[in-house]
Amino acid sequence: DVDAIDAQTSHTTVQLPGLVSIGTFVPTLDESGAAAFEQTTKASLASGFVFNSIIPYTAEGAAVVDARTLTRANEFIQGNAYSDYSLFVAANETNSTQLQQVSALTSALYINAEEFDASVIPSFASHFGAWPSNKPIIVDAKSTSLASLLLLASLFNSKIHVTNVTNIDDLALISMSKKKNLNVTCDVTIYSLFFSQSDYPGASFLPTKEAQKALWDNLESIDCFSVGTTPYKLAKHLGEPISAGLGFADSIPLLMGAVHESKLTIADLIAKLNANPISILGLSQSESYIDVNLDRKTSTLKSPVKVWSPVKDAVGSVERVYMNEQTVSLEGEFVVTEALGKESIAQHASSISNESAVD
């Protein structure tokens, strides 16, 4: 096919700012967490993500809920980060009094509503009261629970971000709340934009085909694209191997395919994968960029992490990742030593005050 981009040259390269993952899932953050975290940040960085906000849930449940578990996670993580990163702390039914202690060391409070009966949600009022108003409360929540959490955000003047939106009623509720000046933003996972329950029957964590269409029709209401937990859930659903770094390598190929089909613009990608997540997480702008070859098959790259993927014959390759004043990845291969991880972690210091345990 011949279109504006293709017509220019046989292999067109687009430069984008480094991508920010507003929700990165690491399968484990315990003793074996060092390797999982290293592999996750390697996979994400080679795929163009220079920053990872780490979801405080692993395959075993909530992993970061207080100062003790935060310190523990940092021990496993330290020295193993290829990208910059920050941690979230998970809300549970009893830890509202511990939030004051950890809020300065984390970038968001994370509420995984799936873990709680909808009737429990009002009891999170104390969490909304305790959490600093300038940092987001990130909620993975639907219908009842979502409405309750938006109500809490409204009552407490909180900054709330709804992650992993998969249905149109939830998006309507969020859009309406935005219109009435609630401080609310949202993201859709990239897999949710390209895979539906029609593709994978029984995969209730994916949108229906109809809902997926509605998500595409309402892109202007969606602030960010995320990787999130969907790749992990899909692999689990299909009985495919669970490994660290699932989903990252598919992000640019899937999204660039949509740009190619005029369903997305490059400006959309920059807004939803860089500018908006940076603003939501309160990060400082770092100098980073990635070069994407729009027509190159990803199979021609030397990927540092091999993981299962539902995407076949992907086109759209991240040929270079530049961050922290140097090229860190070329043709999928790292051109730096492990040491860089530490430096890039330190880089987010300016955005998080009173930090200590992380660095």
Residues that bind Zn ion (CB under 5 A): 1, 6, 11, 237, 293, 349, 355, 358-359
Integer Cα distance of 341 and 58 in angstroms: 21
Q: Least distance (Å) from a copy of itself to the CB of residue 92?
A: 18
Q: Which residue has the tokens 């409405």?
A: 147
Q: Does 165 contact a copy of itself by CB under 8 A?
A: no
Selection from a copy of itself, Zn ion, none that 6 binds (CB < 5 to 8 A by kind) is: Zn ion
Long-range Cβ pairs for the range 9-13 (8 Å, 24+):
10/295, 11/293, 11/294, 11/295, 11/296, 12/293, 12/294, 12/295, 13/291, 13/292, 13/293, 13/294, 13/319
Q: How far is CA 182 from the centre of its chain?
A: 22
Q: Does 155 contact a copy of itself by CB under 8 A?
A: yes
Q: Least distance (Å) from a copy of itself to the CB of residue 181?
A: 8
Q: Does 176 contact a copy of itself by CB under 8 A?
A: yes
Integer Cα distance of 21 and 273 in angstroms: 7
Residue nearer to a copy of itself on the CB measure, 151 or 266: 151
Selection from Zn ion, a copy of itself, none that 293 binds (CB < 5 to 8 A by kind) is: Zn ion
Longest pairwise C-alpha distance within the chain? 60
- Give the list of residues 6+ apart from residue 191 with CB closer than 8 angstroms, or none: 206, 227, 228, 230, 231, 234, 247, 250, 310
x/- map, 64-103, a copy of itself, by CB under 8 A? ----------------------------------------
Q: Structure tokens of 79?
A: 């020295």
Binding region for a copy of itself (CB under 8 A) out of 42-50, 171-179, 262-270, 282-290? 171-179
Residue nearer to a copy of itself on the CB measure, 137 or 318: 137
Residues that bind a copy of itself (CB under 8 A): 118-119, 121-123, 125, 143-144, 147-148, 150-152, 154-156, 169, 172-173, 176-177, 180-182
